[in-house]
């Protein structure tokens, strides 16, 4: 990396304010890094260099004339290609939308731009973000910078790989079942999935649709401070999102990492998931750092109220209903994904749509009975402990396949799992709306990073950030990015 691309978002913003680096220099350094590094990783799928440099020049003029600047003034960022940025191609990872150029920007990115951030491009995602790996017929797989034969994870995999490799210090992503935390773990970066409703999402045309499953938006970053700032900037109530609420505190005030008096439950399998021994060993090795920060850590025999496979299947049905609704909206707009366009769409996504269409309204609402059991089980655990930690993923990476076929394993430690997402321990927190983060805590033998998942009761985001900051201070991971040699693309 260059000296500029090594800087965190907050440090780069400070350097720009101090006139050590100009916005044009910062954006150009990001574009140069993308040009050198992206062929090896396939993290960015669209680069809007001309637009970014124009905005960087405007940001430079604002500094020259003394205009008020935001906390990310001049900082280059990436945006997941699932989400719109006005005037920039947004494909959703799909051949069907390969040349679509939206006229509006998603609110969470708009807030980052209002804070001065400059979008340099769109990052790779699976088609419609429907699986926990990043691969599509349109663009192919995104790789983790730590082992190019292994997938970056999904569905925010391009954003995670872009941040880990120094292309940008901050990149936006989203999470409906692990799509921030899964790639953050595989790429050795940090991401917080905030409590449901903390980051508003005005969802057109149906403001109530995102409740099932619970979708959250947040950045991926190389430091906890950067991610906390990004979530703070995205947060706040919005009249067009009925689930949004005013953030009760600034997460950037929680970076001191003092865990004195807090209780932490360690569940090595989060209630029954099979986990590879190498992954569990790496996560367990990080527990002393929490104790050093003042927390009381206890291993618990937590059990889910239904087997992990049934829980994953239930979550998949929620997602299928969301997919069916999206397909119906597209059909109303003249794009019949199950008709003329079906041959261009990933079969796994089409199957999900059909499952959603097959469920009756009553059957769908009855899913909430099991979902309530999951909620009550976790709430009983949170009655006893402030935080729950576990592995993020059950496996030490997923190999890339050719084309759009990359999915995870169908067994872990001899137990059958759903290859699309059943090898991650993330979706339960989406079902209950709790905040959960992925914190890098080591690397597997194949070089792929391992993530520790830390979660709290809903609206306990500050506790999660505090614990992540404590781990970062005692198990610093930033130096690992400097070990990456990605300029050669062979």
Active site residues: 80, 155, 179
Query: How would you list the strands of the sheet with 118-123, edge to edge?
Result: 44-47, 118-123, 76-80, 170-175, 216-221, 190-193, 436-443, 449-456, 387-391, 263-266, 296-299
Q: Name 437's bridge partners.
A: 192, 454
Q: What is the DSSP letter of 430?
A: H
3-state helix, strand, coil in the chain (%, to 5): 40, 15, 45
**Is residue 291 classed as helix, strand or coil in its secondary structure?**
helix
- Distance, in Å, from the CA atom of 145 to the CA atom of 40, rounded to the nearest integer, reads 8
CB 74 within 8 A of CB 23: yes
Tokens 């404590």 found at: 470
Strands 44-47 and 118-123: antiparallel
Structure token pair of residue 147: 């082992």
CB 417 within 8 A of CB 411: yes
- Distance, in Å, from the CA atom of 150 to the CA atom of 160, rounded to the nearest integer, reads 13
CB 256 within 8 A of CB 469: yes
The sign of the torsion formed by the CA atoms of 59, 61, 64, 67 equals: negative
The total of other beta-carbon atoms located within 10 Å of residue 129's CB is 27
Select from 480, 461, 457 the least CA-distant residue to 469: 461
**Is residue 169 classed as helix, strand or coil in its secondary structure?**
coil
**Is residue 272 classed as helix, strand or coil in its secondary structure?**
coil
- Distance, in Å, from the CA atom of 57 to the CA atom of 77, rounded to the nearest integer, reads 16
Q: Name 456's bridge partners.
A: 387
- Distance, in Å, from the CA atom of 126 to the CA atom of 206, rounded to the nearest integer, reads 23
Structure token pair of residue 448: 């792929």
């Amino acid at each position: 990396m260059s000296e500029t691309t090594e800087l965190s978002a907050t440090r780069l913003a400070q350097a720009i304010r101090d006139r050590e680096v100009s916005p044009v220099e910062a954006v150009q350094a990001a574009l140069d890094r993308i040009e050198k590094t992206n062929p090896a990783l396939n993290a960015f799928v669209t680069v809007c260099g001309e637009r970014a440099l124009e905005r960087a020049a405007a940001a430079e003029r604002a500094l020259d004339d003394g205009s008020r600047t935001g906390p990310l003034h001049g900082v280059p960022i990436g945006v997941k290609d699932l989400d719109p940025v006005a005037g920039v191609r947004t494909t959703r990872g799909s051949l069907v939308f390969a040349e679509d150029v939206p006229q509006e920007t998603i609110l969470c990115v708009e807030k980052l731009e209002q804070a001065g951030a400059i979008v340099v491009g769109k990052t790779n995602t699976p088609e419609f973000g429907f699986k926990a790996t990043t691969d599509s017929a349109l663009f192919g797989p995104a790789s983790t910078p730590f082992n190019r034969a292994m997938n970056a994870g999904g569905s925010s995999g391009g954003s995670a790989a872009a941040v880990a490799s120094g292309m940008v210090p901050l990149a936006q992503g989203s999470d409906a079942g692990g799509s921030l935390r899964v790639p953050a773990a595989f790429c050795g970066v940090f991401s917080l999935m905030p409590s449901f409703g903390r980051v508003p999402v005005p969802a057109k045309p149906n403001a109530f649709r995102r409740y099932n499953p619970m979708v959250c938006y947040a950045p991926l970053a190389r430091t906890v401070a950067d991610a906390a700032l990004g979530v703070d900037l995205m947060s706040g109530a919005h009249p067009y999102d009925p689930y949004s609420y005013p953030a009760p505190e600034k997460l950037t005030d929680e970076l001191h990492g003092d865990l004195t008096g807090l209780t932490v439950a360690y569940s090595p399998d989060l209630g029954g998931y099979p986990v590879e021994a190498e992954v569990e060993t790496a996560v367990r090795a990080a527990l002393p750092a929490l104790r050093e920060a003042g927390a009381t850590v206890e291993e618990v025999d937590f059990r889910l109220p239904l087997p992990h496979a049934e829980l994953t299947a239930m979550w998949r049905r929620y997602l299928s209903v969301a997919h069916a609704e999206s397909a119906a909206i597209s059909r109303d707009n003249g794009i019949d994904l199950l008709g003329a366009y079906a041959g261009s769409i990933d079969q796994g996504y089409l199957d999900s749509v059909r499952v959603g269409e097959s469920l009756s309204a009553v059957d769908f609402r009855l899913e909430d009975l099991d979902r309530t059991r999951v909620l009550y089980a976790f709430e009983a655990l949170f009655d006893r402990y402030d935080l729950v930690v576990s592995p993020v993923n059950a496996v030490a990476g997923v190999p890339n396949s050719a084309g759009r076929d990359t999915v995870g394993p169908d067994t872990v430690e001899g137990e059958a799992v759903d290859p699309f997402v059943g090898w991650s321990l993330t979706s339960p927190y989406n079902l209950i709306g709790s905040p959960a983060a992925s914190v890098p805590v080591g690397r597997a033998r194949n070089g792929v990073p391992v993530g520790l998942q830390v979660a709290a009761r809903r609206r306990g985001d500050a506790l999660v950030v505090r614990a992540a900051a404590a781990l970062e201070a005692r198990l610093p991971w930033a130096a690992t990015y400097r070990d990456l040699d990605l300029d050669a693309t062979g």
